[in-house]
Amino acid sequence: MFAYSLTDRTDMKLLEPEHSEALFQLTEDNRPLLSVWFSWVAGVKSPYDTRAFIDDLNRRRRIGDAYGYGVYEENRLVGVAELSDVNSPDKCGRISYWLSEKDRGKGRMTRACGLLTAFAVKQCGLNRVVIRVAADNPRGRAVPERLGYTLEGIARQAKRREIGFVDMSIYSMLASEWAEMDRMSRYVGY
């Protein structure tokens, strides 16, 4: 899985070193929003930090353990979607994602995560895919809910943010459930 069209104007492409500056700038432009949800933002101080992230993603992709994608609207980077833990001995991977504040609400991230779920199950042979989202993030929670993921529960104070510890909603999709729902046919490329 290397690149996919999500809509006629939106694509999902593997993040490569040449995307470092654009991803750093997108992070900078959305730092106030991202800082609310993610602790990693504080560690991104320069394009070199973003380059290190992309290099690590690519190292993990070469060993088949992670796939990091940029989500592009007419060739403008608007977000990131990542499938990780692909080599888990338990066959349990994880999807994480974020989208710029001004580009939210158009269904792009739902489509991107749907493609990643289909890829995880069909191509990577994962039995289970997990999405962890802050319990107080309704937009973030809407993605797995739209895709039919099951809310397994709330992990209390499972994530540390600047404001303190927050609860995390744990969603999962089993390979058998994905196949039963025949979701793959709803996504471009599957």
For the chain, the C-alpha Rg in angstroms (whole number) is: 16
Q: Please answer whether residues 108 and 71 qualify as being in contact, where contact means their C-beta atoms are separated by less than 8 angstroms.
A: yes
Write phi, then psi, for 96 (nearest 5 degrees): -135, 160
CA 65 to CA 62: how far, in whole Å? 8
pLDDT-derived band at 2 (thresholds 50, 70, 90) equals low
Mean pLDDT of the chain, nearest integer: 88
Burial 129-167 (b: 16+ CB within 10 A, else e): bbbbbbbeeeebbbbbbebebeeeeeeeeebeeeeeebe
Q: In what order do the strands lie in the sheet with 10-14?
A: 3-5, 10-14, 66-73, 76-84, 92-99, 128-134, 164-174, 150-161
Please check the confidence at residue 56 and state whether its pLDDT lies above 90. yes
Mean per-residue pLDDT, 105-122: 89
pTM of the model: 0.87
Residue 4 has pLDDT above 80, yes or no: no
* For residue 9, pLDDT beyond 90: no
pLDDT of residue 44: 92
Q: Which amino acid is at 69?
A: Y
